[in-house]
Amino acid sequence: MKATDVVVIGAGIIGSSAAYYLAKKGVDVTLIDTGGPLSSGTATPACAGGVRQQGRTPFEIPLALYAIQLWTGLEAELDADLHYRQGGMTVMCADETLIPRLQERVTLEQSLGLDIRMVQKQELHDLIPGLSARMIAGSYCPSDGHADPMRTISAFEAAARRLGAHMRWHCAAESLVVEKHKIAAVKTAKGNIPCRQVVLAAGIWSKGIAATAGLDLPFQPITLQMMVTATRPPFLDQVLGWLGHGISLKQVPAGGYVIGGGWPGHGDPDTYRTRLHPGSMAKSAKTAVELFPALAGVPVVRAWVGIEAFSTDEMQIIGPVADIDGLTLAAGFSGHGFGIGPGVGALIARYLVRDQLPDLLRPYSIERFKSDLA
């Protein structure tokens, strides 16, 4: 197959955005994926679509702040409707004893530059009409929001293609070809693609691909489930969470309520086959109604499952590999990669062009696992 400067493996939010920003910088880039551009069962198409800054680890907040700057202009830049809504997000609390814990997080995030504040009692219910009377406090970030994952991936890929990026669908990466500790090519089911650089952004499947170069990524597959209800008139602007209850709730522009939050399904990474977990569906729906009673009786019309790569510390691995020149990792986002995805893609492109790792990516180096992987 034709040689290229950079092969990006994996066409989710990370891979598609990296391909776009590389093409924008004039790099000859090829994006490959074992399925199509919107393969079912993978992480991005099955995520909740949250674009949030709050609730992240302290060293991830700066990356989230950077990403939100891109999101606010992304529809214009990609010339696409991403269904991006910056309507805010509030994480609720119904337990008086948990309010100090929530307040502590808010205070820390404020110190890191995030526009977030506590809202309580009547102010909370004025802010979110229809909220359960049980909710007594919440952390409100007005610049959080949500977008459509499928539309976003498609827009990045279309924009990358317009800039000259090459796409290879149904082109499974079988191994990394490394010669004298340097990337030489990617071996695929359709032949080798010679290249100087590889961005490995294939989610849980990154583990097997990395292993062909002797690299053991500390990932495990976690299968998460999503549901969407029948359409209802526009009512909920915000994304809602509930501290300690595994719920992410939002109403999308089409009118349905999307319910996520980490409830497990079933999935096999080897076959890409997934199936729903009825018990998870019931518990997720019950939690959603307890948080937002207006959902009582609204039917669920669709549910689906995706397989995420969770690292052992539930934080992504991004950056170069010391012993393999030309290999850049971008995987293991552990269920919270969509919102920061465009930021990660842009920063990876900057790194590959300038050969200097941006400070915002330094906390995610694989080197933090060095003692565990030795």
Predicted local confidence at residue 374, as pLDDT? 45
Flag whether 64 is in a domain. no
The pLDDT of residue 281 is above 50: yes
The pLDDT of residue 198 is above 70: yes
Instruction: Quote the CA–CA distance of 340 and 59 in Å, as a whole number.
Output: 13
Do residues 128 and 230 both lie within one domain? yes
Do residues 170 and 305 both lie within one domain? no
Flag whether 71 is in a domain. no
Domain stops at, among 263, 290, 311: 311
Do residues 116 and 195 both lie within one domain? no
Predicted local confidence at residue 38, as pLDDT? 66
Predicted local confidence at residue 47, as pLDDT? 83
Tens digit of pLDDT for each residue in 101-124? 999 999 999 999 999 999 999 999
Task: Point out which residues pair with 140 in neighbouring strands.
Answer: 90, 117
Tens digit of pLDDT for each residue in 331-359? 999 999 999 999 999 999 999 999 999 99
**C-alpha distances in Å from residue 238, one per residue of 48, 110, 129, 152, 305:** 13, 20, 11, 19, 24
Do residues 38 and 91 both lie within one domain? no
Predicted local confidence at residue 40, as pLDDT? 55
Number of domains making up the chain? 2
Do residues 268 and 204 both lie within one domain? no
- 3-state helix/strand/coil string of 74-103: HHHHHCCCCCCECCCEEEEECCHHHHHHHH
Predicted local confidence at residue 41, as pLDDT? 56
The pLDDT of residue 81 is above 70: yes
The pLDDT of residue 251 is above 70: yes
Do residues 132 and 250 both lie within one domain? yes
Do residues 234 and 127 both lie within one domain? yes
Do residues 213 and 230 both lie within one domain? no
Predicted local confidence at residue 39, as pLDDT? 63
User: Which range marks the domain in which residue 237 is found?
Assistant: 86-143+220-311
Query: Mean pLDDT score of the chain, rounded to an integer?
Result: 94
The pLDDT of residue 276 is above 60: yes
Q: Domain with 340 in it: what CATH number?
A: 3.50.50.60
Do residues 323 and 201 both lie within one domain? yes
Q: Domain with 259 in it: what CATH number?
A: 3.30.9.10
Residues 173, 187 contacting (CB under 8 angstroms): yes
Flag whether 19 is in a domain. yes
Domain stops at, among 264, 295, 311: 311
**Span 55-80, average pLDDT:** 97
Flag whether 76 is in a domain. no
Predicted local confidence at residue 373, as pLDDT? 46
Q: Compute the C-alpha angle 270/206/152, nearest 5°.
A: 95
- Residue 273's pLDDT band, with cuts at 50, 70 and 90, is confident
Do residues 162 and 97 both lie within one domain? no
Do residues 157 and 273 both lie within one domain? no
Predicted local confidence at residue 19, as pLDDT? 98
Percent over 70 (pLDDT), the chain:
97
- Residue 267's pLDDT band, with cuts at 50, 70 and 90, is confident
Torsion on CA atoms 309, 324, 344, 373, rounded to nearest 10: 40
Structure tokens at 243: 């501290």
With CA atoms as reference, report the closest residue to 33 among 215, 203, 275, 218. Answer: 203
Domain stops at, among 311, 344, 361: 311
Tens digit of pLDDT for each residue in 32-61? 999 876 665 577 767 889 999 999 999 999
With CA atoms as reference, report the closest residue to 74 among 142, 152, 157, 162. Answer: 152
Tens digit of pLDDT for each residue in 156-177? 999 999 999 999 999 999 999 9
pTM: 0.96
Do residues 164 and 307 both lie within one domain? no
Predicted local confidence at residue 162, as pLDDT? 98
Residues 168, 4 contacting (CB under 8 angstroms): no
Flag whether 1 is in a domain. no
More confident residue, 46 or 291: 291
